[in-house]
Amino acid sequence: MQKQFRRFAEKTSLAVGTPWAFMTAIGIVAVWGATGPLFGFSQQWQLLINSFTTIATFLMVFIIQNTQNRDFRILQLKLTELPRVSEIRCCSMWSDSPITSSLASSEPSRTWHQCQPSLTF
């Protein structure tokens, strides 16, 4: 069930996020507005667009939330991976350095914290 909803949410978010979807929505509202005089701007005419937009908004909340949750998980995985990759790169830089190999006997080995670059934001 989750896999099917994920596929549906991905396809829907891709389709709804296009300029064509926006133009379609504008077209629907324009047709609705143009039919107002035909229906005398009645309450049923107003209820039609109100119901349509309420239902569409309600359903899109779940699609948007699913997309944001998925994007957040992917971003979190990438951010979690950064320290590990930095540690591997940094420590491999120290071990491959000719200076480090020549000083290996006279200087204690460096730890990850010593070779970690300082990050400022």
Evaluate whether residue 58 is within a structural domain: yes
d(CA 8, CA 2): 10
List, in sequence order, the alpha helices (H) in the chain: 2-16, 19-34, 43-96, 98-103, 112-115
With respect to residue 99, please indicate whether it lies within any of the assigned structural domains.
no
Our count of domains for the chain comes to: 1
Show the domain range for 18: 2-71
pTM surpassing 0.85? no
The pLDDT confidence band at residue 97, using thresholds 50, 70 and 90, is low
The per-residue pLDDT for range 43-96, each reduced to its tens digit, is 999 999 999 999 999 999 999 999 999 999 999 998 888 887 777 666 665 555
Q: Is residue 94 part of a domain?
A: no
Instruction: Classify residue 48 by burial, with Cβ atoms within 10 Å: 0-12, 13-18, 19+.
Output: middle
Helix, strand or coil for residue 97? coil
Tokens 């119901």 -> residue: 51
